[in-house]
Chains A and B, each alone.
Chain A
Amino acid sequence: MKNRINVGAVVSALVLVCCGALLLSQKVNAAGEGKITGTVKFEGTPPHMRGIDMSKDPWCVKANANTPQHLQTTEVGAGGGLEYVAVYIDGWSGPANVETSTPVFDQKNCMYVPHVMAVDPGQTFKVMTSDQTAHNIHPEPNPMVNIPWNQSQPPGAPPIEKSWKNPEMIPVQCNIHPWMHGWHVVVKGPVAVTDENGKYTIENVPPGSYTVKAWHEPDTTETTKVTVAAGQAATADFSFKK
């Protein structure tokens, strides 16, 4: 339980930092941009998220001794909110790299934090490790779209800086710890990932009409249309069922 809160804390800290960055950047572009916000729900009884047996690596067991980890493929919070859904604008025609930050994909307690990381094509991100056990970071994109690679990160290894060329939902895994699965969501334009309550906010959206897409692993997508007015927040809610 404590760990879930930790993840929550990290996510909210990230959101706070992003908000801060956005507030600062909005001073620069006074275009009166709006935002898209909403909730993603899971309909019906969510599938059971199995606990993870980490006995392969005693270090991982120890790191999670008080808060056993479970699979994150369908993470449904209280109230039916679905976490780790990436919400983005389909067919974005604005500037390619709206984010100026460098997202971080951490290997922490033998899990990926965040489980789903969104980046723009061409945007630099960092892969780092907080663990005292060796990982290998092995994204497996379709080689026809993006180029796969596989690098080791033993304890104390420096962060790796990378970027993806083309939009794609890329599964990432560690072969040493076969339960470690995460996603790099590479989409053009503004994007947000839902929190533990299924809530999201896409900032920095210029006024206009948009097709908004919500993606949940491994390959489910919901679509809706929304109109954003200058300086206003438009609402787009989604629901998924399995």
Chain B
Amino acid sequence: MRTTLLTWSLLLSVAVMLALPSISRAQLTTEDIASRDNMESHVAGYTGHVHDAAYDYRRYCVGCHGEMGDGNGEVAQWLEPPMWPKPRDFQLGIFKCRSTPTGTLPTDDDLFDTIARGLDRSAMPIWNQFTKYQRANLVAYVKHFSPRFVSEKPGTPIVIPPEPEVTPERIKNGREVFARVQCWKCHGVQGMANGPSASTLTDDLGYKIVPFNFTDGTRPKCGDTDRDIYRIFMTGLDGTPMPSFADNIKPDEAWDLVFYLRTFMQQKSKAKEVAKTLSLKPVSANP
């Protein structure tokens, strides 16, 4: 009798151990992913469905992003960071380009925009040949890889006040903000991606990553409008060393910083014109 009890309790404990989900990074099963086949997106006036994106995903995305959305597609092994960043692991639900605060899920609009915009300095091209309907479906498809899109709601997008007029005072103040929050630690005092910490940066997966070089004519990863630049440093690029500065830069000052950053860039801008009259010196790297 006692032996039977012992055997049963042993069997039971083994069963319990097997039933416990293994806490490794993601690596979900096909069944788990398939259980979210009814995921929807609501964007650009469309309702996107997973099954309507299956063809496009397999045709255009699977090579890098993989059957399971874990970024382990056939081609992924040939992408070598930092020159070619590895594809996202969609299962983790972590995205660089968001309108939402750090540590929150992006909105459908954010994913929709990223697909069309592509990611500069990566293997992710501009996918603007898709119709909006196709993109809406792909957003649903991307979301269905991660259980987080079931258990969590997207973050509330940050509020961006209307863009003020560029003035010399604003550019000068932007320079002060750049010095105070020490953007130069990574981006360098002249925005050339050569700050003291630039050489040791790694992303959350442990791959080498380089800060954005404002001066080489390339585009910021999450868009190159003034609003995009504002959004990048106020939300942070999750999964990378770029933190959110939302707690340390006031909304109005944030615009000043955008204008100052513009003065580093090759692209023509009002801020660059105004800055010509100011003969600004780079900030000091010795606080």
Contacts and interface: CB of A to CB of B under 8 A. Distances in A.
A132 interface: yes
Interface residues of B, number: 39
B196 A56 contact: yes
Given A56-B196, A57-B196, A133-B182, A138 B243 contact: yes
Interface string A137-148: 110101111011
B241 interface: yes
A178 B197 contact: yes
Contact of A152 (B92, B148, B152, B181): B181
Given A144-B26, A157-B248, A176-B197, A150 B185 contact: no
B108 interface: no
Contact of A134 (B185, B201, B202, B236): B185
Instruction: Please indicate which of the listed interface residues A58, A148, A177 has the most CB atoms of chain B within 10 Å of its own CB.
Output: A148
Interface in A154-208: 154-155, 157-158, 160, 168, 175-178
B181 A144 contact: no
Contacts, number: 101
A133 B182 CA distance: 8
Interface in A118-150: 132-134, 136-138, 140, 142-145, 147-150
Contacts of B186: 175-176
Nearest to A146: B103
A140 B205 CA distance: 10
Contacts of A178: 197, 200-202
Interface string B67-107: 00000000000000000000000011110000000111000
Given A134-B181, A150-B242, A158-B247, A142 B197 contact: no
B204 A152 contact: no
A12 interface: no
Nearest to A153: B248
Interface string A18-61: 00000000000000000000000000000000000000111100
Interface string B197-211: 100111010000000
B23 A149 contact: no
Interface in A199-219: none
A177 B196 CA distance: 9
Given A143-B92, A144-B147, A150-B238, A132 B287 contact: yes
B5 to A, nearest CB: 20
Interface string B252-287: 000000000000000000000000000000000011
A235 interface: no
Contacts of B197: 56-57, 175-178
Interface size bucket, A side?
A: 20 to 34
Question: Which interface residue of B181, B182, B204 has the most chain A CB atoms within 10 A?
Answer: B182
Interface centre among B239, B242, B243 (most CB of A within 10 A): B243
B153 interface: no
Given A144-B92, A155-B287, A177-B197, A149 B238 contact: yes
A101 interface: no
A122 to B, nearest CB: 16
Given A56-B196, A59-B287, A144-B147, A152 B25 contact: no
Contact of B244 (A58, A134, A152, A154): A152
A151 interface: yes
Contacts of B245: 151-152
A160 B286 contact: no
Contacts of B247: 151-152, 157-158, 160
Given A158-B247, A175-B201, A148 B241 contact: no
A131 to B, nearest CB: 10
B182 A134 contact: yes
A216 to B, nearest CB: 18
B238 A148 contact: yes
A133 B201 CA distance: 17
Given A134-B185, A175-B197, A150 B244 contact: yes
Given A147-B148, A176-B185, 10 more contacts: A57-B185, A149-B102, A151-B102, A151-B236, A151-B244, A168-B23, A175-B186, A176-B197, A178-B201, A178-B202
17 contacts: A134-B181, A142-B24, A143-B93, A143-B148, A144-B92, A147-B148, A148-B94, A148-B238, A149-B244, A151-B246, A152-B244, A154-B181, A157-B248, A168-B23, A176-B241, A177-B197, A178-B201
